[in-house]
Amino acid sequence: MLDVFQRWYQRKFSDPDAVMLLLLILVSSIALVFWGEMMMPVIVSAVIAYLLDWPVVRLQKVGVNRTLATAIVLMLFVSFVIVTLVGFLPVISKQSVNLLQEMPQIATSAQEWIRTLPEKYPSYINVTQVADFIDSLNEKASVLGESLIAVSFNTLGNVAALLIYMILVPLMVFFMLKDKDFFLNAVSSLLPNERRLIAQVGNEMNGQIANYIRGKVIEIFIVGGVSYITFALMDLRYAMLLGALVGLSVLIPYIGAAVVTIPVAMVALFQWGISPQFGYLMFAYGIIQALDGNLLVPILFSEAVSLHPLYIIVAVLFFGGLWGFWGVFFAIPLATLVKALITAWSSESSAELKDN
């Protein structure tokens, strides 16, 4: 057994480039695990700068100075964020409060409908089962309510963190964009000379990460906007709130679409009951999800490395458990990074076997 492990080690890590790649991964992983939350504003700034570098480069190509191009792109980006927040956030907040206030009525209506099931289907459901199910729901609802109260108090304590994001992140993005070459040279000077595999993985990930993040942002706006328009045309209550939830649900592949279906169906069922309107809405919602998964996603992420759905779900659970929202958002790029690392080591081993 020891000989097997020794041969595996020699095959994978006999090359100094492979060892340096492994050390870089270990150091980066340890830093993210222990200081990831503290460094999150820097990471977010780097991601935004990475996305905004494309229009800055395009302005440079038409003769605009990089500093001026950076200022123009950043001002447009900040203006877009402000307009989006001012235009939609108050409406979404108001609809969220109204929905929370109506939740007891929705729960009561749901319980009354559940209590009628034994009369409709006496051969399959009895009164005891219904009573136990309702008691379980009430218990879980009370736990959820306590959790929401705790989250609301914790949110009050995060005002300082919000101010950090609002003030420091734009400043860091500006300097990262303006002095891009300086920071790249500084990072390059810190890397070891044995970095062939590091460069290989970096080059492979460069276009894929940019494609993924840009595509994901576009997908959020398209799916959320189409959902809102559909819900509003069908006169569904809380259309903007539900549309925003559907848009954000694309951050979590497969799982998000399943989870966000619950509030959409609950609001529609409370508003219309089991009726043709409810069926039309769920049919339209199903079409939106089908077009997103079968048409929009292949177009937006055509350049991304294809990953098996099981790998994506595992990545969402793992990285989401480590870093919460940002872990979920970057789950697919991180999973792609893992795949690129495995490919680099595998290609290295294959090249050595051919040489031998």
H helices within 196-308, ranges in order?
A: 196-233, 239-249, 255-272, 276-291, 297-300
Q: What is the pLDDT of residue 280?
A: 93
What are the sequence ranges of the domains in the chain? 11-181, 195-356
Tell me how far apart the alpha carbons of residues 104 and 323 are, in angstroms, rounded to a whole number.
33
For 215-235, the DSSP string reads: HHHHHHHHHHHHHHHHHHHTT
Tell me how far apart the alpha carbons of residues 224 and 245 are, in angstroms, rounded to a whole number.
7
Q: What is the pLDDT of residue 350?
A: 47
Give Cβ neighbours of residue 302 (< 8 Å, ≥ 6 apart).
Answer: none
Pick the closest to residue 230 from 303, 179, 280, 174 (CA basis).
280
Give Cβ neighbours of residue 213 (< 8 Å, ≥ 6 apart).
Answer: 47, 50, 51, 333
- DSSP code of 253? T
Three-state DSSP string of 149-189: HHHHHHHHCCHHHHHHHHHHHHHHHHHHHHCHHHHHHHHHH
HSE toward the beta carbon, residue 172, CA cutoff 13 A: 17
The answer to whether the CB of 316 falls within 8 A of the CB of 252 is yes
Single-letter amino acid, residue 37? E
Pick the closest to residue 56 from 68, 45, 69 (CA basis).
69
Tell me how far apart the alpha carbons of residues 42 and 81 are, in angstroms, rounded to a whole number.
19
**What percent of the residues of the chain are helix, what percent strand, and what percent coil, each to the nearest 5?**
85, 0, 15
Along the 356 residues of the chain, how does pLDDT read in single tens digits? Answer: 566 656 655 665 555 666 676 677 777 777 777 776 777 788 788 878 888 888 898 999 898 899 999 999 999 998 988 887 777 778 887 887 787 777 777 777 777 777 777 777 777 777 777 677 777 766 666 665 555 545 444 544 455 566 667 788 888 999 988 988 888 788 777 766 666 666 666 666 666 676 777 778 888 899 999 999 999 999 998 899 899 999 988 877 777 888 889 889 888 888 888 889 999 999 999 999 888 877 887 777 655 556 666 777 787 788 777 777 667 777 777 777 777 777 766 665 544 444 44
Three-state DSSP string of 105-135: HHHHHHHHHHHCHHHHCCCCCCHHHHHHHHH
Calculate the alpha carbon distances from 129 to 67, 104, 135, 136 in Å: 68, 22, 10, 11
Lookup: tokens for 147? 């959790």
Calculate the alpha carbon distances from 312 to 255, 305, 324, 335 in Å: 10, 12, 16, 7
Q: What is the pLDDT of residue 73?
A: 92
Q: What is the pLDDT of residue 336?
A: 75
Q: Angle at CA 236, nearest 5°, toward 234 and 239?
A: 110
pTM of the model: 0.67
